[in-house]
Chain A
Amino acid sequence: MNSAPDHSLNMLVRKLESVAPLSHDERQAIQSLPVMTRILQPGQDIVRDGGQPSQCCLVLDGWTARYKLLSEGRRQILSFHIPGDIPDLQSLHLAVMDHSLCSMTVSTVAFIPHESLRDLTARFPGLAAALWRDTLIDAAIFREWMIGIGRKSAHGRIAHLFCEMYLKLHAVGLADHHRMPWPLTQIDIGDALGLSNVHVNRVLQNLRNQKLIILDRRNLTMGDWEGLSEMGEFDPVYLHLERRAAA
Protein backbone atom coordinates (compact mmCIF):
# COMPACT_ATOMS: atom_id res chain seq x y z
CA MET A 1 0.00 0.00 0.00
CA ASN A 2 1.19 3.51 -0.80
CA SER A 3 -0.10 6.95 -0.13
CA ALA A 4 -1.70 8.04 -3.37
CA PRO A 5 -0.58 11.15 -5.14
CA ASP A 6 -3.27 13.84 -5.14
CA HIS A 7 -4.04 13.46 -8.83
CA SER A 8 -5.53 10.00 -8.24
CA LEU A 9 -8.62 11.70 -6.89
CA ASN A 10 -9.09 13.62 -10.12
CA MET A 11 -10.87 10.52 -11.37
CA LEU A 12 -13.54 10.97 -8.68
CA VAL A 13 -13.83 14.67 -9.49
CA ARG A 14 -14.27 13.83 -13.17
CA LYS A 15 -16.88 11.18 -12.40
CA LEU A 16 -18.94 13.38 -10.08
CA GLU A 17 -18.74 16.28 -12.53
CA SER A 18 -20.21 13.99 -15.18
CA VAL A 19 -23.38 13.70 -13.08
CA ALA A 20 -23.44 16.96 -11.04
CA PRO A 21 -21.71 20.36 -11.12
CA LEU A 22 -19.01 20.88 -8.44
CA SER A 23 -17.65 24.12 -6.97
CA HIS A 24 -13.95 24.93 -6.68
CA ASP A 25 -14.02 24.24 -2.91
CA GLU A 26 -15.78 20.92 -3.43
CA ARG A 27 -13.16 19.84 -5.96
CA GLN A 28 -10.39 20.85 -3.56
CA ALA A 29 -12.02 18.95 -0.69
CA ILE A 30 -12.18 15.75 -2.78
CA GLN A 31 -8.57 16.12 -3.83
CA SER A 32 -7.41 16.41 -0.24
CA LEU A 33 -9.08 13.15 0.88
CA PRO A 34 -6.61 10.69 2.41
CA VAL A 35 -6.40 7.54 0.30
CA MET A 36 -4.38 4.36 0.11
CA THR A 37 -3.88 2.90 -3.35
CA ARG A 38 -3.51 -0.74 -4.28
CA ILE A 39 -2.87 -2.55 -7.52
CA LEU A 40 -5.00 -5.67 -8.00
CA GLN A 41 -4.68 -8.63 -10.33
CA PRO A 42 -7.80 -9.74 -12.30
CA GLY A 43 -10.34 -11.67 -10.26
CA GLN A 44 -9.24 -10.43 -6.84
CA ASP A 45 -11.94 -9.75 -4.30
CA ILE A 46 -11.97 -6.18 -3.01
CA VAL A 47 -14.85 -6.63 -0.57
CA ARG A 48 -16.67 -9.91 0.14
CA ASP A 49 -20.31 -10.69 0.66
CA GLY A 50 -20.94 -10.45 4.43
CA GLY A 51 -17.91 -8.22 5.03
CA GLN A 52 -18.05 -5.06 7.12
CA PRO A 53 -15.64 -2.65 5.45
CA SER A 54 -14.44 0.57 7.09
CA GLN A 55 -13.46 2.16 3.81
CA CYS A 56 -14.84 2.71 0.31
CA CYS A 57 -13.08 1.72 -2.87
CA LEU A 58 -12.59 4.27 -5.65
CA VAL A 59 -11.61 2.72 -8.98
CA LEU A 60 -8.65 4.59 -10.51
CA ASP A 61 -7.75 2.25 -13.33
CA GLY A 62 -9.22 -0.97 -14.76
CA TRP A 63 -12.67 -2.54 -14.46
CA THR A 64 -14.35 -4.02 -11.39
CA ALA A 65 -17.66 -5.81 -10.90
CA ARG A 66 -20.20 -6.45 -8.20
CA TYR A 67 -21.28 -10.07 -8.06
CA LYS A 68 -23.12 -12.68 -6.07
CA LEU A 69 -22.21 -16.38 -5.89
CA LEU A 70 -25.00 -18.96 -6.00
CA SER A 71 -25.04 -22.72 -5.51
CA GLU A 72 -23.01 -24.97 -7.85
CA GLY A 73 -20.54 -22.15 -8.50
CA ARG A 74 -23.00 -20.07 -10.47
CA ARG A 75 -22.11 -16.39 -10.56
CA GLN A 76 -24.38 -13.45 -11.25
CA ILE A 77 -22.51 -10.26 -12.08
CA LEU A 78 -24.61 -7.34 -10.90
CA SER A 79 -22.78 -4.38 -12.42
CA PHE A 80 -19.52 -3.33 -14.05
CA HIS A 81 -17.50 -0.39 -12.73
CA ILE A 82 -14.91 1.79 -14.37
CA PRO A 83 -12.48 4.47 -13.20
CA GLY A 84 -14.18 7.17 -11.16
CA ASP A 85 -16.79 4.79 -9.73
CA ILE A 86 -17.08 3.96 -6.02
CA PRO A 87 -18.82 0.58 -6.36
CA ASP A 88 -19.10 -0.01 -2.60
CA LEU A 89 -20.24 3.47 -1.65
CA GLN A 90 -23.25 1.84 0.00
CA SER A 91 -20.96 0.46 2.72
CA LEU A 92 -20.81 3.99 4.10
CA HIS A 93 -24.39 3.60 5.30
CA LEU A 94 -25.07 -0.16 5.12
CA ALA A 95 -22.76 -1.93 7.56
CA VAL A 96 -22.82 -5.43 6.03
CA MET A 97 -22.05 -6.13 2.36
CA ASP A 98 -24.86 -8.04 0.63
CA HIS A 99 -22.69 -8.90 -2.39
CA SER A 100 -19.01 -9.02 -3.34
CA LEU A 101 -16.84 -6.67 -5.36
CA CYS A 102 -13.88 -7.87 -7.44
CA SER A 103 -11.42 -6.66 -10.06
CA MET A 104 -12.11 -7.83 -13.62
CA THR A 105 -8.77 -6.59 -14.98
CA VAL A 106 -5.50 -5.46 -13.49
CA SER A 107 -6.86 -2.51 -11.54
CA THR A 108 -5.67 0.32 -9.39
CA VAL A 109 -8.02 1.23 -6.60
CA ALA A 110 -7.90 3.88 -3.86
CA PHE A 111 -9.39 3.17 -0.47
CA ILE A 112 -11.02 6.13 1.26
CA PRO A 113 -11.78 5.72 4.99
CA HIS A 114 -15.49 5.93 5.83
CA GLU A 115 -14.66 8.50 8.47
CA SER A 116 -13.12 10.83 5.88
CA LEU A 117 -16.10 10.43 3.54
CA ARG A 118 -18.52 11.13 6.39
CA ASP A 119 -16.57 14.23 7.32
CA LEU A 120 -16.49 15.34 3.67
CA THR A 121 -20.24 14.97 3.20
CA ALA A 122 -20.95 16.75 6.52
CA ARG A 123 -18.80 19.72 5.50
CA PHE A 124 -19.99 19.86 1.90
CA PRO A 125 -23.71 19.14 1.50
CA GLY A 126 -23.28 19.68 -2.25
CA LEU A 127 -20.95 16.70 -2.37
CA ALA A 128 -23.35 14.64 -0.27
CA ALA A 129 -26.01 15.49 -2.84
CA ALA A 130 -23.70 14.57 -5.73
CA LEU A 131 -22.93 11.17 -4.16
CA TRP A 132 -26.64 10.66 -3.51
CA ARG A 133 -27.37 11.51 -7.13
CA ASP A 134 -24.73 8.99 -8.20
CA THR A 135 -26.39 6.35 -5.98
CA LEU A 136 -29.76 7.09 -7.58
CA ILE A 137 -28.23 6.73 -11.04
CA ASP A 138 -26.75 3.43 -9.88
CA ALA A 139 -30.29 2.32 -9.02
CA ALA A 140 -31.51 3.51 -12.42
CA ILE A 141 -28.84 1.35 -14.09
CA PHE A 142 -30.09 -1.65 -12.07
CA ARG A 143 -33.63 -0.99 -13.33
CA GLU A 144 -32.35 -1.04 -16.91
CA TRP A 145 -30.48 -4.30 -16.30
CA MET A 146 -33.62 -5.80 -14.79
CA ILE A 147 -35.56 -4.88 -17.93
CA GLY A 148 -32.82 -6.42 -20.05
CA ILE A 149 -32.60 -9.71 -18.17
CA GLY A 150 -36.36 -9.96 -17.82
CA ARG A 151 -37.57 -8.81 -21.19
CA LYS A 152 -34.87 -8.43 -23.84
CA SER A 153 -33.38 -10.87 -26.34
CA ALA A 154 -29.72 -11.90 -26.13
CA HIS A 155 -28.98 -9.43 -28.95
CA GLY A 156 -30.85 -6.66 -27.11
CA ARG A 157 -29.07 -7.25 -23.80
CA ILE A 158 -25.61 -7.31 -25.33
CA ALA A 159 -26.21 -4.27 -27.56
CA HIS A 160 -27.55 -2.37 -24.53
CA LEU A 161 -24.48 -3.23 -22.46
CA PHE A 162 -22.17 -1.96 -25.22
CA CYS A 163 -24.10 1.34 -25.47
CA GLU A 164 -24.17 1.81 -21.68
CA MET A 165 -20.49 1.10 -21.11
CA TYR A 166 -19.51 3.35 -24.01
CA LEU A 167 -21.40 6.34 -22.63
CA LYS A 168 -20.10 5.73 -19.09
CA LEU A 169 -16.51 5.51 -20.34
CA HIS A 170 -16.98 8.52 -22.61
CA ALA A 171 -18.32 10.59 -19.70
CA VAL A 172 -15.03 10.19 -17.82
CA GLY A 173 -12.85 10.62 -20.91
CA LEU A 174 -11.93 6.96 -21.43
CA ALA A 175 -13.65 6.33 -24.76
CA ASP A 176 -14.20 8.32 -27.90
CA HIS A 177 -15.31 7.98 -31.54
CA HIS A 178 -17.42 4.95 -30.62
CA ARG A 179 -14.33 3.01 -29.65
CA MET A 180 -13.71 1.77 -26.11
CA PRO A 181 -11.52 -0.63 -24.19
CA TRP A 182 -13.31 -3.97 -23.85
CA PRO A 183 -11.60 -6.26 -21.32
CA LEU A 184 -14.56 -8.56 -20.61
CA THR A 185 -14.65 -12.21 -21.67
CA GLN A 186 -17.72 -13.91 -23.14
CA ILE A 187 -18.21 -15.67 -19.81
CA ASP A 188 -18.22 -12.31 -18.00
CA ILE A 189 -20.87 -10.99 -20.40
CA GLY A 190 -22.94 -14.15 -19.96
CA ASP A 191 -22.71 -14.01 -16.17
CA ALA A 192 -23.86 -10.39 -16.22
CA LEU A 193 -26.71 -10.79 -18.69
CA GLY A 194 -27.97 -14.25 -17.80
CA LEU A 195 -26.81 -15.86 -21.05
CA SER A 196 -24.86 -19.01 -21.80
CA ASN A 197 -21.38 -18.73 -23.27
CA VAL A 198 -22.72 -20.33 -26.47
CA HIS A 199 -25.45 -17.71 -26.84
CA VAL A 200 -23.02 -14.84 -26.18
CA ASN A 201 -20.64 -16.25 -28.78
CA ARG A 202 -23.40 -16.57 -31.38
CA VAL A 203 -24.56 -12.99 -30.81
CA LEU A 204 -21.06 -11.54 -30.95
CA GLN A 205 -20.32 -13.39 -34.22
CA ASN A 206 -23.62 -12.17 -35.58
CA LEU A 207 -22.92 -8.54 -34.60
CA ARG A 208 -19.46 -8.82 -36.16
CA ASN A 209 -20.84 -10.25 -39.39
CA GLN A 210 -23.33 -7.39 -39.58
CA LYS A 211 -20.44 -4.95 -39.02
CA LEU A 212 -22.22 -3.57 -35.97
CA ILE A 213 -19.10 -4.14 -33.87
CA ILE A 214 -15.42 -4.68 -34.45
CA LEU A 215 -13.56 -6.46 -31.66
CA ASP A 216 -9.82 -6.25 -31.92
CA ARG A 217 -7.71 -7.46 -29.08
CA ARG A 218 -9.13 -5.63 -26.08
CA ASN A 219 -10.94 -2.83 -27.90
CA LEU A 220 -14.46 -2.64 -29.21
CA THR A 221 -15.53 -0.29 -31.98
CA MET A 222 -19.21 0.30 -32.53
CA GLY A 223 -19.68 0.35 -36.28
CA ASP A 224 -23.27 1.54 -36.13
CA TRP A 225 -24.31 3.40 -32.97
CA GLU A 226 -27.86 3.89 -34.16
CA GLY A 227 -28.22 0.25 -35.10
CA LEU A 228 -26.94 -0.96 -31.74
CA SER A 229 -29.07 1.57 -29.82
CA GLU A 230 -32.13 0.38 -31.66
CA MET A 231 -31.28 -3.29 -31.14
CA GLY A 232 -30.75 -2.70 -27.40
CA GLU A 233 -33.71 -0.31 -27.06
CA PHE A 234 -31.15 1.97 -25.48
CA ASP A 235 -32.29 5.36 -24.24
CA PRO A 236 -29.47 7.07 -22.30
CA VAL A 237 -31.80 9.20 -20.15
CA TYR A 238 -31.36 6.79 -17.20
CA LEU A 239 -27.63 7.59 -17.03
CA HIS A 240 -28.52 11.23 -16.25
CA LEU A 241 -25.22 12.47 -17.60
CA GLU A 242 -24.52 16.18 -17.34
CA ARG A 243 -22.54 16.19 -20.55
CA ARG A 244 -23.96 13.62 -22.89
CA ALA A 245 -21.65 11.99 -25.38
CA ALA A 246 -22.32 13.15 -28.91
CA ALA A 247 -23.55 9.80 -30.13
Chain B
Amino acid sequence: MTDQAGKAHATIAEGALRSALPYRARPKRPNALSASLTFGWRALLKIKHVPEQLFDAVGNPIIFTLMFTYLLGGAIAGSPGAYLQYLIPGILVQTVILITAYTGVNLNTDISKGVADRFRSLPIWRPAVIVGALLGDMVRYALASAIVLALGLILGFRPESVVGVVLSVVLIIVFAFSVSWIWTALGLVARTPNSVLWVSTLIMFPLTFASNIFVEPKTMPGWLQTAVIFNPITHLVSAVRGLMYGTIPVGHIAWLLVGCVVLVVIFAPITMYLYRSKK
Protein backbone atom coordinates (compact mmCIF):
# COMPACT_ATOMS: atom_id res chain seq x y z
CA MET B 1 0.00 0.00 0.00
CA THR B 2 2.89 2.35 0.68
CA ASP B 3 3.99 1.60 -2.84
CA GLN B 4 0.67 2.50 -4.25
CA ALA B 5 0.60 5.71 -2.26
CA GLY B 6 4.10 6.48 -3.49
CA LYS B 7 3.05 6.00 -7.07
CA ALA B 8 0.08 8.26 -6.56
CA HIS B 9 2.42 10.98 -5.29
CA ALA B 10 4.58 10.70 -8.33
CA THR B 11 1.71 11.02 -10.77
CA ILE B 12 0.41 14.37 -9.59
CA ALA B 13 0.45 16.04 -12.96
CA GLU B 14 1.35 19.67 -13.17
CA GLY B 15 -0.52 20.15 -16.46
CA ALA B 16 -3.64 18.32 -15.32
CA LEU B 17 -3.55 20.26 -12.09
CA ARG B 18 -3.43 23.60 -13.83
CA SER B 19 -6.16 22.71 -16.28
CA ALA B 20 -8.42 21.38 -13.50
CA LEU B 21 -8.08 24.40 -11.30
CA PRO B 22 -9.78 27.30 -13.03
CA TYR B 23 -13.30 25.98 -12.97
CA ARG B 24 -15.59 28.79 -12.14
CA ALA B 25 -18.81 28.05 -13.99
CA ARG B 26 -21.31 27.58 -11.23
CA PRO B 27 -24.38 25.50 -12.07
CA LYS B 28 -27.75 26.42 -10.67
CA ARG B 29 -27.80 25.50 -7.02
CA PRO B 30 -29.82 22.40 -6.19
CA ASN B 31 -33.24 22.82 -4.62
CA ALA B 32 -34.02 21.51 -1.14
CA LEU B 33 -35.34 18.18 -2.39
CA SER B 34 -32.44 17.48 -4.69
CA ALA B 35 -29.88 18.37 -2.00
CA SER B 36 -31.70 16.08 0.46
CA LEU B 37 -31.77 13.25 -2.05
CA THR B 38 -28.04 13.66 -2.62
CA PHE B 39 -27.48 13.22 1.11
CA GLY B 40 -29.85 10.24 0.96
CA TRP B 41 -27.60 8.78 -1.72
CA ARG B 42 -24.66 9.29 0.60
CA ALA B 43 -26.47 7.33 3.34
CA LEU B 44 -27.11 4.48 0.89
CA LEU B 45 -23.43 4.44 -0.08
CA LYS B 46 -22.62 4.06 3.59
CA ILE B 47 -24.92 1.04 3.83
CA LYS B 48 -23.16 -0.37 0.79
CA HIS B 49 -19.64 0.26 2.12
CA VAL B 50 -20.33 -0.53 5.77
CA PRO B 51 -22.96 -3.30 5.68
CA GLU B 52 -21.76 -4.48 9.10
CA GLN B 53 -23.79 -1.66 10.58
CA LEU B 54 -26.93 -3.39 9.39
CA PHE B 55 -25.89 -6.81 10.63
CA ASP B 56 -25.07 -5.34 14.03
CA ALA B 57 -28.53 -3.92 14.09
CA VAL B 58 -30.29 -7.19 13.37
CA GLY B 59 -27.99 -9.39 15.43
CA ASN B 60 -29.82 -8.63 18.65
CA PRO B 61 -33.32 -9.33 17.35
CA ILE B 62 -32.21 -12.67 15.95
CA ILE B 63 -30.91 -13.70 19.35
CA PHE B 64 -34.04 -12.38 21.06
CA THR B 65 -36.32 -14.16 18.64
CA LEU B 66 -34.59 -17.50 19.02
CA MET B 67 -34.23 -17.22 22.78
CA PHE B 68 -37.76 -16.07 23.53
CA THR B 69 -39.39 -18.40 21.04
CA TYR B 70 -37.66 -21.61 22.01
CA LEU B 71 -36.81 -21.00 25.67
CA LEU B 72 -39.89 -19.13 26.83
CA GLY B 73 -42.39 -19.46 24.00
CA GLY B 74 -43.87 -22.67 25.31
CA ALA B 75 -44.32 -21.24 28.78
CA ILE B 76 -45.79 -17.97 27.56
CA ALA B 77 -48.07 -19.09 24.75
CA GLY B 78 -48.36 -22.85 25.07
CA SER B 79 -46.01 -23.65 22.19
CA PRO B 80 -43.06 -21.97 20.45
CA GLY B 81 -45.00 -21.92 17.17
CA ALA B 82 -47.95 -20.10 18.72
CA TYR B 83 -45.65 -17.63 20.49
CA LEU B 84 -43.82 -16.85 17.26
CA GLN B 85 -47.05 -15.52 15.75
CA TYR B 86 -47.27 -13.13 18.70
CA LEU B 87 -43.59 -12.23 18.94
CA ILE B 88 -42.47 -11.41 15.39
CA PRO B 89 -44.53 -8.22 15.00
CA GLY B 90 -43.06 -7.05 18.32
CA ILE B 91 -39.50 -7.97 17.40
CA LEU B 92 -39.93 -6.15 14.12
CA VAL B 93 -40.83 -2.98 15.99
CA GLN B 94 -38.00 -3.42 18.50
CA THR B 95 -35.40 -3.94 15.79
CA VAL B 96 -36.25 -0.83 13.86
CA ILE B 97 -36.72 1.34 16.94
CA LEU B 98 -33.32 0.37 18.32
CA ILE B 99 -31.51 1.34 15.11
CA THR B 100 -33.08 4.79 14.94
CA ALA B 101 -30.17 5.96 17.08
CA TYR B 102 -27.74 5.49 14.18
CA THR B 103 -28.90 8.69 12.52
CA GLY B 104 -27.72 10.61 15.56
CA VAL B 105 -24.56 8.53 15.79
CA ASN B 106 -23.68 9.27 12.16
CA LEU B 107 -24.40 12.96 12.55
CA ASN B 108 -22.15 13.11 15.59
CA THR B 109 -19.43 11.27 13.66
CA ASP B 110 -19.69 13.80 10.83
CA ILE B 111 -19.14 16.61 13.29
CA SER B 112 -16.21 15.03 15.07
CA LYS B 113 -14.53 14.16 11.74
CA GLY B 114 -14.98 17.64 10.27
CA VAL B 115 -17.15 16.58 7.30
CA ALA B 116 -20.03 18.51 8.83
CA ASP B 117 -17.96 21.70 8.51
CA ARG B 118 -17.61 21.18 4.80
CA PHE B 119 -21.34 20.59 4.38
CA ARG B 120 -22.17 23.59 6.50
CA SER B 121 -19.94 25.84 4.42
CA LEU B 122 -21.71 24.86 1.18
CA PRO B 123 -24.40 27.13 -0.23
CA ILE B 124 -27.22 24.59 0.14
CA TRP B 125 -30.50 24.26 2.02
CA ARG B 126 -29.08 23.54 5.45
CA PRO B 127 -31.53 20.93 6.78
CA ALA B 128 -30.76 18.81 3.68
CA VAL B 129 -27.89 17.02 5.39
CA ILE B 130 -30.19 15.76 8.17
CA VAL B 131 -33.33 15.23 6.09
CA GLY B 132 -31.22 13.33 3.54
CA ALA B 133 -29.63 11.16 6.20
CA LEU B 134 -33.09 10.33 7.53
CA LEU B 135 -34.31 9.43 4.05
CA GLY B 136 -31.36 7.08 3.67
CA ASP B 137 -32.10 5.62 7.08
CA MET B 138 -35.63 4.82 6.00
CA VAL B 139 -34.08 2.45 3.49
CA ARG B 140 -32.07 0.98 6.33
CA TYR B 141 -35.25 0.49 8.37
CA ALA B 142 -36.89 -1.23 5.40
CA LEU B 143 -33.91 -3.56 4.99
CA ALA B 144 -33.86 -4.42 8.68
CA SER B 145 -37.61 -5.09 8.55
CA ALA B 146 -37.16 -7.39 5.58
CA ILE B 147 -34.48 -9.37 7.42
CA VAL B 148 -36.61 -9.81 10.53
CA LEU B 149 -39.66 -10.80 8.49
CA ALA B 150 -37.60 -13.29 6.49
CA LEU B 151 -36.28 -14.80 9.69
CA GLY B 152 -39.82 -15.03 11.07
CA LEU B 153 -41.14 -16.69 7.92
CA ILE B 154 -38.34 -19.26 8.01
CA LEU B 155 -39.14 -20.08 11.64
CA GLY B 156 -42.86 -20.45 10.91
CA PHE B 157 -44.39 -17.00 11.32
CA ARG B 158 -47.56 -16.84 9.19
CA PRO B 159 -49.21 -13.40 8.98
CA GLU B 160 -52.72 -13.35 7.55
CA SER B 161 -52.55 -10.21 5.43
CA VAL B 162 -49.73 -9.37 3.04
CA VAL B 163 -51.10 -5.85 2.58
CA GLY B 164 -51.19 -5.60 6.36
CA VAL B 165 -47.51 -6.56 6.57
CA VAL B 166 -46.58 -3.88 4.04
CA LEU B 167 -48.68 -1.26 5.84
CA SER B 168 -47.09 -2.33 9.13
CA VAL B 169 -43.62 -1.74 7.78
CA VAL B 170 -44.66 1.65 6.43
CA LEU B 171 -46.13 2.57 9.80
CA ILE B 172 -42.99 1.43 11.62
CA ILE B 173 -40.79 3.44 9.25
CA VAL B 174 -42.89 6.56 9.74
CA PHE B 175 -42.65 6.16 13.50
CA ALA B 176 -38.91 5.44 13.34
CA PHE B 177 -38.38 8.52 11.17
CA SER B 178 -40.13 10.64 13.81
CA VAL B 179 -38.17 9.10 16.68
CA SER B 180 -34.90 9.64 14.78
CA TRP B 181 -35.25 13.39 15.26
CA ILE B 182 -34.72 12.85 19.00
CA TRP B 183 -31.36 11.24 18.27
CA THR B 184 -30.29 13.83 15.71
CA ALA B 185 -30.82 16.48 18.40
CA LEU B 186 -28.88 14.31 20.84
CA GLY B 187 -26.21 13.69 18.20
CA LEU B 188 -25.58 17.42 18.05
CA VAL B 189 -25.00 17.86 21.78
CA ALA B 190 -23.30 14.56 22.66
CA ARG B 191 -19.54 14.50 22.96
CA THR B 192 -18.92 11.25 21.09
CA PRO B 193 -20.81 8.98 18.70
CA ASN B 194 -20.71 6.27 21.34
CA SER B 195 -22.43 8.37 23.94
CA VAL B 196 -25.34 8.88 21.52
CA LEU B 197 -25.64 5.12 21.24
CA TRP B 198 -25.44 4.63 24.99
CA VAL B 199 -28.04 7.22 25.87
CA SER B 200 -30.46 6.00 23.23
CA THR B 201 -30.04 2.38 24.28
CA LEU B 202 -30.51 3.38 27.89
CA ILE B 203 -33.84 4.96 27.00
CA MET B 204 -35.11 2.66 24.30
CA PHE B 205 -34.18 -0.71 25.73
CA PRO B 206 -36.39 -0.40 28.83
CA LEU B 207 -39.12 1.17 26.69
CA THR B 208 -39.19 -1.83 24.37
CA PHE B 209 -39.41 -4.19 27.36
CA ALA B 210 -42.06 -2.17 29.20
CA SER B 211 -44.39 -2.73 26.28
CA ASN B 212 -46.40 -5.55 24.78
CA ILE B 213 -43.57 -6.73 22.53
CA PHE B 214 -42.83 -9.89 24.51
CA VAL B 215 -45.88 -10.57 26.71
CA GLU B 216 -49.45 -9.40 27.19
CA PRO B 217 -49.53 -6.54 29.71
CA LYS B 218 -52.43 -8.18 31.61
CA THR B 219 -49.98 -10.49 33.39
CA MET B 220 -48.05 -7.48 34.75
CA PRO B 221 -48.61 -5.62 38.02
CA GLY B 222 -51.10 -2.76 37.78
CA TRP B 223 -48.64 0.15 37.89
CA LEU B 224 -46.60 -1.41 35.11
CA GLN B 225 -49.74 -1.98 33.03
CA THR B 226 -50.45 1.72 33.25
CA ALA B 227 -46.93 2.52 32.07
CA VAL B 228 -47.21 0.04 29.24
CA ILE B 229 -50.48 1.50 28.04
CA PHE B 230 -48.93 4.96 27.79
CA ASN B 231 -45.86 3.65 26.04
CA PRO B 232 -46.13 4.62 22.35
CA ILE B 233 -44.31 1.43 21.41
CA THR B 234 -47.26 -0.56 22.79
CA HIS B 235 -49.57 1.25 20.39
CA LEU B 236 -47.23 0.64 17.50
CA VAL B 237 -47.00 -3.06 18.30
CA SER B 238 -50.77 -3.35 18.69
CA ALA B 239 -51.28 -1.57 15.39
CA VAL B 240 -48.76 -3.83 13.65
CA ARG B 241 -50.31 -7.00 15.12
CA GLY B 242 -53.75 -5.85 14.08
CA LEU B 243 -52.66 -5.08 10.53
CA MET B 244 -50.78 -8.33 10.12
CA TYR B 245 -53.78 -10.35 11.27
CA GLY B 246 -56.25 -8.59 9.03
CA THR B 247 -57.83 -5.86 11.16
CA ILE B 248 -57.41 -2.11 10.96
CA PRO B 249 -56.73 -0.81 14.47
CA VAL B 250 -57.78 2.79 13.77
CA GLY B 251 -57.41 3.92 17.36
CA HIS B 252 -53.81 2.81 17.71
CA ILE B 253 -52.85 4.17 14.30
CA ALA B 254 -54.41 7.56 14.97
CA TRP B 255 -52.72 7.74 18.37
CA LEU B 256 -49.39 6.92 16.73
CA LEU B 257 -49.65 9.40 13.91
CA VAL B 258 -50.44 12.14 16.40
CA GLY B 259 -47.40 11.03 18.38
CA CYS B 260 -45.24 11.18 15.24
CA VAL B 261 -46.37 14.71 14.47
CA VAL B 262 -45.66 15.78 18.04
CA LEU B 263 -42.17 14.28 17.95
CA VAL B 264 -41.27 15.95 14.67
CA VAL B 265 -42.78 19.29 15.65
CA ILE B 266 -40.72 19.31 18.85
CA PHE B 267 -37.45 17.72 17.81
CA ALA B 268 -36.98 18.81 14.20
CA PRO B 269 -36.77 22.53 15.12
CA ILE B 270 -34.54 21.73 18.10
CA THR B 271 -32.24 19.71 15.82
CA MET B 272 -32.10 22.47 13.24
CA TYR B 273 -31.48 25.11 15.87
CA LEU B 274 -28.62 23.07 17.33
CA TYR B 275 -27.23 22.37 13.88
CA ARG B 276 -27.25 26.02 12.89
CA SER B 277 -25.62 27.20 16.10
CA LYS B 278 -23.16 24.30 16.38
CA LYS B 279 -19.71 25.56 17.24
A binds B: no
